[in-house]
Amino acid sequence: MKRTAIKLAVSVIVSVFVLVLLAWLVSHGGGEISADKIITCVQQAILPLVAVYALCQLAQTLLRAMRSRVLLRAGMQEDRKELVPGIGHITLVSFVRGACADMLPVRVGELSYVAMLNRGYEIPVSDCLSSLFIGLLFDFAALLIVLAVAVSTISQGLSLLGSAMLLFVVCVVGWIGLFLIMPWFTNLLQRHSPQRLKSFCFYRRAVKMLDDLSTAVQFVRKSGSILQVLGLSAAIRCVKYFGLYFLFLAVTRRLWPDLASASVPAVLVALICAEGAASMPLPSFMSFGSYEAGGLVALTSLGFGMAESMTAMLSMHLISQTIDYSLGGIAFGFFTWMPRKPIQHVAATGRERRLLLSLSAASIAAVVWALILASGGKNQGVRD
């Protein structure tokens, strides 16, 4: 308990230090940033556009739950598939995972997904890890697609070509590592480990878990669900950045019309840079500081002022984290209260289809509504 409190205190100190450093850089760059401006920016956020972001968070979490269920069932043996809970249960787990992902550096909070599925529904850790790792791999692949589209449509994109190439390398290395190297390495450990190492219980358990994980990954590869997972991953990214773009508009339109009029690809690049910086191994609290630094670098390189860019990114971060952690906290409350009975696949499949149809209809309505709002107020300036 004491060690956890110390780590939390260190992460808060790091975040405060980075934010103060960014504010100092902004002030020396001729701009000005203050708590009053940040509070004003949050208060002036356009609520309908914030609601679009919240709706997109609900939609992308449901899509993540569907993908997790596909990966879990594809990676498990037939006699264990009935352990996989229904879409409602996994959606709650996905909400909590989304809230915890940014709480610890290097996204260690993702492991809350493994802990909740294992403790709550008795799904083997190997199956949880395989679905987590493969899902993250496809997240990188989908992010590569979004970044490639954004880079190709802005003139400054050539300077970001290295980022796209790095993501491509990460995807290829991850694919080879999961589907080729890991099975080979597991087989090597099982056949050629020294007897002295095999005598250690911890080593035997580690090799056994690695073997179970490798088996689950091979089940997924042979299940024929790769294209389905890739499609869900692309949908997750599209819905996520759609919501973040409208949250960006929500905090910039009334105060900085020029920033709000930035092209969609430019905003996407800034959001991806901010997310990439937040994933760096910096022990910041809820990614505060690192997220703003990534977005600030991207927006200023695209020609926008430092003060408004910094204020906008920090305001976005405050609003998004408030929504995400509220949803995660509510989901965790339901998770602890709901019974943990596995739901049969046949019944769940029909439920998933109904949920997917409802989600599609709601998403289309939200897109149309948000685009009408965006086009109607794009050139109104600061009337409000």
DSSP for 330-364 reads: HHHHHHHHS------HHHHHHHHHHHHHHHHHHHH
249 touches 374 (CB < 8 A): yes
Of 168-172, 270-274, 290-294, 300-304, which range is least confident?
Answer: 168-172
Q: How far apart are CA 239 and CA 247, in angstroms?
A: 12
Q: Which of 344, 363, 361, 334 is nearest to 94 (CA)?
A: 334
Query: Phi-psi region for residue 381, left (φ > 0), alpha (ψ -120 to 50) or beta?
Result: left
CA atoms of 61 and 74, how far apart (whole Å): 20
Residue type, 156: Q
CB 313 within 8 A of CB 274: yes
User: Is 270 within 8 Å of 303 (Cβ atoms)?
Assistant: no
**Distance in angstroms (rounded) separating the CA atoms of residues 221 and 206:** 23
Q: Dihedral sign, CA of 164, 167, 169, 175?
A: negative
| Helix 47-75 / helix 345-377 crossing angle, nearest 10 deg | 150
d(C-alpha 311, C-alpha 251), whole Å: 9
Percentage with pLDDT > 70 across the chain: 74
Interatomic CA distance for residues 27 and 29, integer angstroms? 5
User: How many whole angstroms separate alpha carbon 337 and alpha carbon 166?
Assistant: 43
| Nearest partner of 225 among 82, 43, 372, 75, judged by Cα | 75
Amino acid present at 56: C
Rounded CA gap, 54 and 45, in Å? 13
Over range 87-106, report the average pLDDT.
81
Q: Which is more confidently placed, 350 or 38?
A: 38
Write the pLDDT tens digit of every residue in 44-87: 899 999 999 999 999 899 999 999 988 888 877 776 777 788 88
Side-chain half-sphere exposure of 113, counting CA atoms within 13 A = 29
- Per-residue burial over 23-57, b = 16 or more CB atoms within 10 Å of its CB, e = otherwise: bebbeeeebebeeebbeebbebbbeebbbbbbbbb
> What's the token pair of residue 257?
């019309």
- Tell me if the pTM is above 0.85: no
Give the residue with greater pLDDT, 357 vs 24: 24
Distances (CA, A) of 51 to 244, 264, 293, 382: 11, 19, 26, 21
88 closest CA partner among 268, 254, 337 = 337
Highest mean pLDDT among 16-20, 240-244, 268-272: 240-244
What are the Cα distances from residue 278, in Å, to 5, 241, 291? 22, 16, 5
Q: Count other Cβ atoms within 10 Å, centred on residue 360.
A: 12
Give the residue-averaged pLDDT of 109-121: 85
Q: Residue 151 half-sphere exposure, CB side, CA atoms within 13 Å?
A: 18
Range name among 67-71, 287-291, 364-368 with the lowest pLDDT average: 364-368
Per-residue pLDDT tens for 220-246?
677 777 778 878 888 888 888 889 999
Q: Describe the crossing of helices 306-337 and 226-252 by its angle, rounded to 10 degrees.
A: 130
